[in-house]
Amino acid sequence: MRPLFIRRARQLVTLAGGSAAPLVKEKMSNLGIIENGSVWIENGVIVAVGPDDELARRFADRFSEAEVIDAKGKTVTPGLIDPHTHLVYAGSREHEWTMRLHGATYMEIMNAGGGIHATTKATREASEEALYDESKRRLDQFLLHGVTTVEAKSGYGLSLEHEIKQLNVAKRLDDTHPVDVVSTFLGAHAVPPEWKHDPDGYVRLIIDEMIPEAARLGLAEFNDVFCERGVFTPE
């Protein structure tokens, strides 16, 4: 594998704040920016970062073997991580924005059949292939904006069949797309309409069938519950 030399970035954002500990308070503004910065990479590993003239001298005898990317006028950052996404779903709730602007609460919209329930209906009606194609387009946009890892929650199937369908799509995307997809099972996102008179029964379905099946198939690394008034509680 040829070395990769990314040169002359207007800003090279290293996020090296001078400490191994997480940055807090005012230290969070220290992004470790190197103006006119460059990066030397070998075998997929960052070997050196620094001002362009410094790295140019250091690796001068290896220029001929390297692939060079001129990043002049651009910003170079580490791959970004989005730790909370709902990547796999169908439909749109853009019309609900007007309701929010007029003061409707999230729960009022959901109780009127919108919100999670509206997206669940659309997701259940969509085929796995349609979900894959639509979700891939979203993932392409993530990559264009510098995101290289996303956490992807299910939670818009709210049945064994359709939660597994969502998780299958996320797994396929992780297998085929440059962006890493880390899946979370979120069957406890809302009580679906068919279980509204027996929410405890739905919780038992999640515990007894959904979680074991997702685990058996190896489709999720994490489990999540949406704790909110009118939905689920920690108890």
- The ranges of the chain with pLDDT < 70 are 17-18
Closest CA to 142 of 91, 79, 94: 79
CA distances from 151 to 40, 55, 133 (A): 29, 35, 18
110 in the same domain as 187:
yes
Is there a contact between 149 and 87 (Cβ–Cβ < 8 Å)? no
- How far apart (Å, rounded) are the C-alpha atoms in residues 92 and 108? 18
Instruction: State pLDDT tens for residues 58-106.
Output: 999 998 999 999 999 999 999 999 999 999 999 999 989 999 999 998 8
57 in the same domain as 38:
yes
Q: Tell me, what's the pLDDT at 207? A: 98
Q: Is 231 exposed, middle or buried (0-12, 13-18, 19+ CB in 10 A)?
A: middle
Domain that holds residue 9: 4-78
Total structural domains within the chain: 2
Amino acid identity, position 84: H
Q: Tell me, what's the pLDDT at 180? A: 99
Where is 192: in which H helix or E strand? none
Model pTM score: 0.87
Q: Tokens 């008179």 label which residue?
A: 197
61 in the same domain as 176:
no
Is 235 inside any structural domain? no
Of 78, 97, 124, which residue sits at a domain end? 78
Backbone angles phi, psi at 195, to 5 degrees: -115, 10
